[in-house]
Amino acid sequence: MPNIDNSTSAKTLADLGAGNPTEIRLLFGVQRKDFDIESASCSDFSALESLRVKWIGRKSILTNITDNWLKPAAKEIKPIVGQALNELKAHVEAVLGERRQALEADFNARASHGKEGVDLSLPGVTRPIGSHHLIRQVFQEIEDIFVSIGFSVVEGPEIETPYYNFEALNIPEFHPVRDDMDTFYLDLPKGAPSPLLLRTHTSPMQIRTMEKRKPPVRVIVPGKVYRRDNPDATHSFIFHQVEGLAVDSDITFCDFTGTIEYFVKQFFGPGVKTRFRPSYFPFTEPSVEFDVSCIFCGGTGTSAGGGTCSKCKGAGWIELFGAGMVDPAVYGFVNYDPKKVSGFAFGMGIDRLAMLKYQIDDIQVFFQNDVRFLRQFP
């Protein structure tokens, strides 16, 4: 129980010698002043509670004033005492309410400050700055080389229809090359207009580009491709390609070899030699496989230690990518006149190029995102 100072309020007005309105108001004024001083220094919830008990609790100063001043007061002065008491009570209640609100606001402010607390003296959090993935860097290198000789970069959907992925590239339904390009098909609701698959190569963008543009066309298409391959050091069910396509009224096999050689020398360095071998793709005629002299043994087939070069297996050559002159049949699918246009196309595996150039022996590291690998290519 707080120590309630009831000394004045314990006495009657007669004891205090207050008989007229002025003296009564003076007495109430002194009480009010006392309360104001006490409430001003009340700075926490428990002090506020003590103050409340002292002034308006059951055995408080205001109950004393009611009992000792008001009740025994003479009839003529009773209304004055009553009115002054009401005013004092209203004042005490109002001030107690205000103090409570102020303390609560202060409390909440502190609490939320603690939660979201900004301590300006703490050192900041330094986040490591990321870098482009090696595959992205190699895409960029290749794009820069081709853009510098007049190609533009286009991208296409990874989810394709069999029409774009196969048929329009002159690969009809039961063509044997489809065996090498098994892929993932999407589960579609019954009655969907066409099956959908994850594209097995970037070549569908040849068709999409020629459908939209009239010749001359010079584009490269970087992107992700998918195949139902089991993962090992050189296979992954997802990998990356850059497709190239150039079609115009007078493009010859010479333009084709010149362009490809220029690219390879820019990419691997001027010392490399190149060669073509006949090959087969349904959408090119003639088709070639493009090789580069082994960048590990300098084309000798012998490693520095004297043994057979393990990279080219002694051949001195490394197979780089497939290419060829666009098969006239393909023009039929995009309403180009095969008598008026000619062109070449190529498709290279970026993971393979990156592995060769940066001497990486496992394709899986591209997809594992191990920072110890990523940091080697800042």
Binding site for ligand DAH (CB under 6 A): 201, 203, 243, 281, 284, 322-324, 345-347
Shortest distance (Å) from residue 322 CB to ligand DAH: 3
Per-residue buried b or exposed e for 121-136, using 16+ beta carbons within 10 Å of the residue's own CB: eeeeeeeeeeeebbbe
Shortest distance (Å) from residue 357 CB to ligand DAH: 19
Q: Which two tokens stand for residue 211?
A: 């459908």
Which CB, 54 or 218, lies closer to ligand DAH? 218
Shortest distance (Å) from residue 241 CB to ligand DAH: 6
Shortest distance (Å) from residue 327 CB to ligand DAH: 9
Shortest distance (Å) from residue 227 CB to ligand DAH: 9
Q: Which two tokens stand for residue 327?
A: 């098969």
Q: What is the 3-state secondary structure (H, E, C) of 319-378?
A: EEEEEEEECHHHHHHCCCCCCCCEEEEEEEEHHHHHHHHCCCCCCCHHHHCCHHHHCCCC
Shortest distance (Å) from residue 302 CB to ligand DAH: 31
**Residue number closest to ligand DAH, CB atom:** 347
Which CB, 68 or 284, lies closer to ligand DAH? 284
- Between the CA atoms of 70, 71, 74 and 75, what dihedral angle is there, to the nearest 10 degrees? 100
Q: Report the candidate in 83, 114, 119, 99 with the shortest Cα–Cα distance to residue 44.
A: 99
Which CB, 73 or 138, lies closer to ligand DAH? 138
Which CB, 207 or 345, lies closer to ligand DAH? 345
Whole-number Å distance between alpha carbons of 269 and 367: 27
Which CB, 77 or 246, lies closer to ligand DAH? 246
Beta strands at 217-226 and 152-153: parallel, antiparallel or unpaired: parallel
Shortest distance (Å) from residue 168 CB to ligand DAH: 13
8-state DSSP, 230: -
Whole-number Å distance between alpha carbons of 352 and 354: 5
Which CB, 268 or 346, lies closer to ligand DAH? 346
Which CB, 73 or 355, lies closer to ligand DAH? 355
Which CB, 42 or 326, lies closer to ligand DAH? 326
Shortest distance (Å) from residue 376 CB to ligand DAH: 28
Shortest distance (Å) from residue 287 CB to ligand DAH: 6
Give 362's contacts (C-beta < 8 A, 6+ positions apart).
233
Which CB, 61 or 219, lies closer to ligand DAH? 219
Contact 80, 20 (CB under 8 A): no
C-alpha separations of 244 from 46, 143, 219 in Å: 80, 10, 6
- The amino acid occupying position 158 is E
Helix, strand, or coil (residue 23): helix
The phi, psi pair for 257, rounded to 5°, reads: -65, -40
